[in-house]
Structure 1
Amino acid sequence: MAYRRRMLLKVIILGDSGRFPSRSPAKMGYASGQERFQSLGVAFYRGADCCVLVYDVNAMKSFDNLNNWREEFLIQASPSDPDNFPFIVLGNQIDFDGGNNRVVSEKKAKAWCALK
């Protein structure tokens, strides 16, 4: 029998919290990333292998705040190579209202990623 080495990855997910319509089912992790948890950043972020930055495609403010989340993560996590630390950007709520309220285009998100 071949020996399998177990590998664990620490992935941090950050972004503005939002409100869910009353008809939506409860979502796990709803409060993660809220400002009240930022004081735990150093201990929580250290040793992360990747950071996922999440924004609401229907809320420009949440997209604009990606810069703050990214910078705060880099400050508190202190990765050894901040210029090459892996970030993933995820546009959320794309299925809400059939995409009619989308304010952050895919093109805009890709341009932001190219700059970062």
Structure 2
Amino acid sequence: MKYAIILEHVGQYSISLMREVLGVHRSGFCKWRDAPKSQRQTRREGVESFVKDTFAEFQAMYGAPRITKELNALGHRCSLNFVAKIMRENRRIARNGKAFNYGGHALTMHNVSDNLL
């Protein structure tokens, strides 16, 4: 986390100053910066793109359970919790359909005859 902060503020402050303030060694920062992406990070980015595409394809109507089923059907193995976490981090919320409305029926009161008593 400290390394990411340093990388984020490289243009504003010098690296040596940020290193001293955060208590990080230069060699550790350089090793972290030049390291290739891990297998887990690569897989996560792939699933994030599939979740984004599936979410857009179904016009934000599908939540994590349905998106998980779609991805598993396409051959991209992932769990419900994994997809839900990705959606939460990217602020993707499914829109539910409209609830049933028990409103008054318009025709019922129009066809009533007058009370003549």
- What's the TM-score, normalizing by structure 1? 0.28
**Which structure's CA Rg is the greater one?**
2
Q: Which has the higher strand share?
A: 1
Q: Which has the higher helix share?
A: 2
- What's the TM-score, normalizing by structure 2? 0.27
RCO (CA 8 Å, sep 6+): is it higher in 1 or 2?
1
